[in-house]
Homo-oligomer: A and B are copies of this chain.
Amino acid sequence: MTTTEPAGPPPRRGRGRPGYDQAAILRAAVELFNRKGYDATSMGDLAKELGLTKPAIYHHVTSKEQLLGQALDDALDELTAAVTAASGEAADRTAHERLREVVRRSVEVLVAHQPAVTLLLRVRGNSEVELAALERRRWLDDRLAALVADAVAEGALRDDVPPTLVSRLLFGMVNSLVEWYRPDGSYDRAMVADAVTAIAFDGLARHAS
């Protein structure tokens, strides 16, 4: 991880002019891409946001698409780590246990890396970069669907709904976090992870217990 300073004026380095590094530009770009949409955001918008000129941005970055690609790779790396950490090395744990852990870890990644994941979930496949991201995302979806299928086969989950449908609805709920979650809002990370897990596995209805 790079140092994550709070947003604000560019840090002064040495006695030169204020300077941004690649990471700071990427953060600002992702924030803008999410607020306005990738295509609706111009490099001029990004420059204005940073208080730079457009050419100054190209001193740090090779293209708009590269910024997108890096954000998507960040999100995909985190999600892949979450899925492989929880779903790999079966043996000693049931599919049901691994699925619960994947859900919890996914929520944590969504919350911790919300901007990048939000961008990922909106990708349409309009370029090579986007198509590559969609392919990695499909791989993740397949892993998750397989895990759900295992948990159903194991007898831990209801079998009156097709596993692929269960998987889509479950991770549809998880992914919907990016639409409203705000790190400074009323709910902290653990609370959201608990709520998602509880509702997904036990339902909204009041418990019989």
| A-to-B contact residues, CB < 8 Å | 35-40, 122, 124, 126, 155-162, 165-166, 168-173, 175-177, 179-180, 186-187, 191-192, 194-196, 198-208
Contacts and interface: CB of A to CB of B under 8 A. Distances in A.
What are the 3 tightest A-B residue pairs by CB atom distance, in nearest-first order?
A172-B176, A203-B203, A39-B39
Contacts of A175: 172, 176
Contact of A204 (B38, B162, B200): B200
A159 B207 CA distance: 10
A38 B122 CA distance: 12
A115 to B, nearest CB: 14
* Identical chains in the assembly: 2
Nearest to A203: B203
A157 B124 contact: no
B199 A166 contact: yes
B37 A205 contact: no
A149 to B, nearest CB: 13
A174 to B, nearest CB: 8
Nearest to A156: B206
B158 A187 contact: no
B158 A207 contact: yes
Contacts of A196: 169
